Amino acid sequence: MNIDYESGIKNIGNTDRLKKVFERAEKGDNLTIAFLGGSITQGSLASKPELCYAARVFAWWEKTFPKAKFTFINAGIGATDSQFGCARAAEDVLSFKPDVISIEYAVNDDNNEHFKETYEGAVRKLLSAKNKPAVYTFFNVCYDTGASAEEKHLEIAKYYDIPAFSIKSTIYPLLTKGELAHGDITPDELHPNDKGHELVASVITYGLEKIRKGDCETVNNNNETFPTPVTTNGYEDSVRYRNNNADLAFCTGWTADKEPQDHITDIFKNGWTATEKGAKIAFKVSGSCIGVQYRKTMQLPAPVAVAKVDGKVVATLDANFDETWGDKLVLDTLLDHGEAGEHVVEIEITEAHKEDKLPFYLVSVIASGNPEPLFLKPAFAHTIWGGTRLREDYGYEEPGDDIGECWGISAHPNGEGIVKNGKYAGEKLSTLWNEHPELFGNKGEDGKAKLPYDRFPLLTKIIDAKADLSIQVHPDDEYAKVHENGSFGKTECWYVLDCPENGTLVIGHNAKDKAELESMIREGRWNEFIREVPVKKGDFIQINPGTVHAIKGGILLLETQQNSDITYRVYDYDRLQNGKPRQLHVDQSIDVITVPALPAKDSVKNFADTPVNTLAEMYSCKYYTVLKANVEGKMSFENNAPFMCISIISGEGTLNGYEVKKGDHLIMPEAVKKINANGTMNMILSYI
Ligand code: ZN
C-alpha cells in the first residue's frame, strides 16, 4: 500500500502560529488541542473513542512532545455542517481557549457558494479568537463517489493561509486503484472504520510533522489586520438563541427545557418543547440571515410546525424523520441575506396527533449577518511621562518603556486608527469618514453630508501617566479656528481606570482674577497657582476648554475628546526632553484660561459601581455623550446614534456575536440599530 502523502498537502500557508505552538510544546507548556467538525470528528464508526482520527492526531501531539501537557477537546457533532459549526464555535471550541484547532466539514457541507460562505465564517471566527490559535483543516471524502466540498473549502484555506490536507488525494486513490477494498476502511462509504480513521490521521500527522520539521515553504505575512472576506460573510457573527439567552416576543404552549446539557453531543437541550396544535413562540433577533434548529425524530408520528419571519410563513418544520440511523438535528434557513435589522421569528405547531411519541423539539434560532463593527488598530504616542502599562495591563503589542498614550479610536493625522476586520480592513478611519459617510450616519437623502463636522469628530485614548504630565490648557473651537489653522478646539473628559492611593489630578487653579493669574504664571508661583484634587478609580471628570489640568503620575485613564491635538503647555516642571525643555505656550495659555476656575467639588463624579446591564450616562455636552456599561451576562440596548464608539476597559465577552476583550476599541456603524452584549466586562461608550 503506497500512500502519496505529498499530494495530500493542498496548502501549507502561514505556519507562524503552529510553529509557536511547537516551540511551547518543546518547552513543556500546557496546550489545548481542539477538533471541530461533524460525525467523523466525533468518532463515528470507530470501535472505541481512542481509535478515531482526532484521538490519534492528539496522540501524535503527546508522543511528539513528551514534556508538554495536553488537553483534548473533541467538538465533533454528527450530521451537522459548518453553518452550525460557525454558530457554536465560540461556545463549543473557543471557550476552552485552544492553542490548535482542526476544522473538518468537507463531507457535511456541499461544494457550493452557501457552504463556502459558512465555512469562511467559521474559519474567520476561529482565526480571530483573541488567543490567536493555530488553525488547520483537512477534507474527508465520500468513498463511493469521491465527492466533497474540498474545492470550495480549499479556496478559503488558501485565502487565509491555513494548512490543508486532502483525503481524496491520499486515501481515496487506494480504493480506485484497487489497493484496498471499500469495506476495508469504510462500512458505509462515508465514515471510516478503525483502519480508515488510522489512515485519515496519518495524512494529518504527515502534514503536521512536515511543518514541525520546517520541511516546507511557508507564507510570510505577519499581518495584524484580517483580510477582507471573499464571500458576503453573512455568518461569522452568528448568535445562537436558546432558552438561556433568547429575547422572546411571546410564548404560549411551549415549555423551556432546563435539563442540563451533559456534553456538546447532547444536542436536544436548552430548547423548547410543545405538543399542542396552536402553540406559538416568537423570537426577536437581528441580522440578515436566520436559521432554525429542531429535531426530526424516527419515532413516528411527530408534530409539524411552520416558521414565520415578520408574519410571513417561510418554512414548514416537519419533525417526522423517515430514517433508521437516529434522531437528527436539522438546521433550516428562514432568511437568506434578507434585510439587515430586527426581525420577529415565530414558530407555531400546525399539526399534532394523539399518537405523537415525542413533543416537537425546537433547539434554537440562529441569526447573523449584522453590519460589522469597525475594530480599530490603535496608534501609540511615546512620551517622557509614559510607562509600560499599556502593554502589560492592556495587552497592546507596543515596545518601549515610555508608552504614554494609546489612541484607540482616532482619525487624527498625528495617530490614526486602521480598521482591523471585515471589508474595510486596512483602511484609515479618516478615509472611511470621507468615502463611506453612511457608516457614520453622515449621508443625507441628497447624498450630501448630514452632520456638522468636516472630519471624524471624536478621539478616544487610554493614557498611562507613569510620571506627571505638564500643566496645560486647551482652547475652544472659536479660539482654535482663528489661532490654530482651523483646528477644532479641545473639550475632553476623563474616566479614571486606575489610580494609586492618595492619587490626584490637577483640575483648575487658585487665581481669583486675570491679573493674579498672569502674575502667578509669569512669576512661576506654581505652588500657589496649581489646584490638585484627590481622585479614585471610577471617577469621571469633564475638562472644558480653558480649564487648567494635568494628569499626575500613577494614574491610568480613558480620555474621550474632540478630534484635536491642540495643547497649550503652561508649566512642565522644568523637565528636559533630549536635553532641552519642551516648548511652553504662556501667552496663549493666559489668553484661554477661564478665571476663576469652576469649584473643585463640581468637577469630579464617581461611576465605579454603575448598575449592572444598564447604560449609565456620565456626561453629555454639545460635543459628546459618554456612557459606561457594566455587563454581567446578557445586555441589549438600542443604538440611535449616528455611530457609537466603544472601548472595553475590563473583562471580555461578545458584542453582536464578535469576541471582545479588555483593550479593544471599535465603532458600531449607523446600520447597527441594536447592540447585544454578552460576557463579564466594562465598557465606555461615546457618541455625538
Ligand atoms: Zn488635556
- pLDDT tens digit sequence for 29-67: 999 999 999 999 999 999 999 999 999 999 999 999 999
Query: Average pLDDT, stretch 524-551?
Result: 92
Contact indicator for 678, 653 with CB cutoff of 8 Å = yes
Rounded Cα distance between 394 and 416, Å, is: 19
Residue 438 DSSP label: G
Q: Is 582 a catalytic residue?
A: no
Compute the distance from residue 453 Cα to the ligand 1 centre, in Å: 21
Compute the distance from residue 551 Cα to the ligand 1 centre, in Å: 8
Length of the chain measured in residues: 688
HSE-CB at 454 with a 13 A cutoff on CA atoms is 3
E runs forming strands in 57-127: 69-76, 100-104
Compute the distance from residue 473 Cα to the ligand 1 centre, in Å: 6
pLDDT greater than 70 at residue 224:
no
Rounded Cα distance between 530 and 4, Å, is: 78
Rounded Cα distance between 133 and 100, Å, is: 5
Compute the distance from residue 472 Cα to the ligand 1 centre, in Å: 7
Contact indicator for 158, 13 with CB cutoff of 8 Å = yes
Q: What is the pLDDT of residue 89?
A: 96
Compute the distance from residue 549 Cα to the ligand 1 centre, in Å: 7
Q: Which three cell numbers stand for residue 219?
A: 507564507
3-class DSSP state of 612:
strand
Distances in Å between the alpha carbon of 490 and those of 40, 311, 555? 60, 50, 21
Give 50's strand partners. Answer: none
Compute the distance from residue 536 Cα to the ligand 1 centre, in Å: 19
Among 124, 240, 531, 569, the one annotated catalytic:
569
Q: What is the pLDDT of residue 623?
A: 92
Rounded Cα distance between 335 and 287, Å, is: 9
Task: Please give the full DSSP string across 202-218, using - where no structure is assigned.
Answer: HHHHHHHHHHHTT-S--
Domains of the chain: 5-213 (3.40.50.1110), 239-368 (2.60.120.260), 374-606 (2.60.120.10), 615-687 (2.60.120.10)
Per-residue pLDDT of 490-510, as tens digits, reads 899 999 999 999 999 999 999
| CA dihedral (388, 390, 395, 400) positive or negative | negative
Compute the distance from residue 594 Cα to the ligand 1 centre, in Å: 14
Which residue's entry shows cell 441628497?
446
Q: What is the pLDDT of residue 225?
A: 60
Compute the distance from residue 604 Cα to the ligand 1 centre, in Å: 15
Query: Average pLDDT, stretch 477-485?
Result: 87
* Among 668, 675, 463, 414, residue whose Cα is nearest residue 564: 414
Element (H, E) at 617: strand 615-620
Compute the distance from residue 492 Cα to the ligand 1 centre, in Å: 7
Residue 673 DSSP label: -
* Average pLDDT of the residues of the chain: 93
Compute the distance from residue 326 Cα to the ligand 1 centre, in Å: 66
Per-residue pLDDT of 321-339, as tens digits, reads 998 888 999 999 999 999 8
Contact indicator for 548, 509 with CB cutoff of 8 Å = yes
Compute the distance from residue 428 Cα to the ligand 1 centre, in Å: 24
Per-residue pLDDT of 89-123, as tens digits, reads 999 999 999 999 999 999 999 999 999 999 999 99
Rounded Cα distance between 120 and 155, Å, is: 9
What pTM value is reported for the model? Answer: 0.80
